[in-house]
Every structure is written in structure tokens, then in C-alpha cells.
Amino acid sequence: MMMDENSRSWYVLYTAPRLERKLMRHLAVAGYKTYCPMQTIYVNWNGKTKEIIVPFFSGCVFVEGDLKEMASVVASQKAAFLVNADGKELSIVSDKANLPGKFAQLLK
């Protein structure tokens, strides 16, 4: 299968919920492209409705880069690569716009 310039291999990282932005900042400083699709939810607190932006997949961050080079950076941030049933790191070959859909298909 040939990959065009827009389709690249992205790896799925898992971190503790609510630490996705911190992990993304750390990986960006290290020179990696990251992506975490967000959604807006509305929560009712004390009779007031608050708008909160949260990750679409809680605890999951997509990162593009070389797996071996990334491993030490990921381990230092208390994150882990998601693996498939065979024990291999879960990678998705796609452009950034289609990542959430392809990941959701893998979860089924």
C-alpha cells in the first residue's frame, strides 16, 4: 500500500485522563506532531451551565513520529502506547482529519 503525503502513520498513546494536554505540550517541545480531537460539552453546576472542552477519546493522544525515538519520551511522561490483540503498538495510517473515525472503527 502506497502512502501519499497526507497519509502518515500515527500511534495512539494512552495517558491518565485530564493529562492529555500536558502530554501533547511535552511531545510538541520534543518535536513530534500530536493530535487530540476535542468536543464541547455543557455541564450544569449550581444552576449555571458551563461550557467545557474535553478530549473526544478520554486519555488518548495521537502522535506521529518514529516509534523507537518516541519510546523514551513517552515513558518519561507516564504514558503508554496502546497495543492491538497481537501485542504490537497500535498504528493508524491516515491523514489527521480521518484519525478519529478510524480509531473509533478499531474500538468496535
Structural domains of the chain ordered from first start: 9-103 (3.30.70.940)
Q: Half-sphere exposure of residue 28, counting CA atoms within 13 Å on the CB side?
A: 10
**Alpha-carbon distance values, 18 to 55, 68, 82, 93 (Å):** 8, 26, 17, 26
94 or 85, higher pLDDT? 94
Q: Where are the alpha helices (DSSP H) in 1-108?
A: 20-29, 67-76, 99-107
- pTM score: 0.78
- Per-residue pLDDT band at 3 (split at 50, 70, 90): very low
Q: Is there a contact between 89 and 1 (Cβ–Cβ < 8 Å)?
A: no
Task: Dump pLDDT digits (tens) for 14-41.
Answer: 999 889 999 999 999 999 999 999 999 9
Q: Is there a contact between 93 and 12 (Cβ–Cβ < 8 Å)?
A: no
- Per-residue pLDDT band at 75 (split at 50, 70, 90): confident
All three cell numbers of 27: 511531545
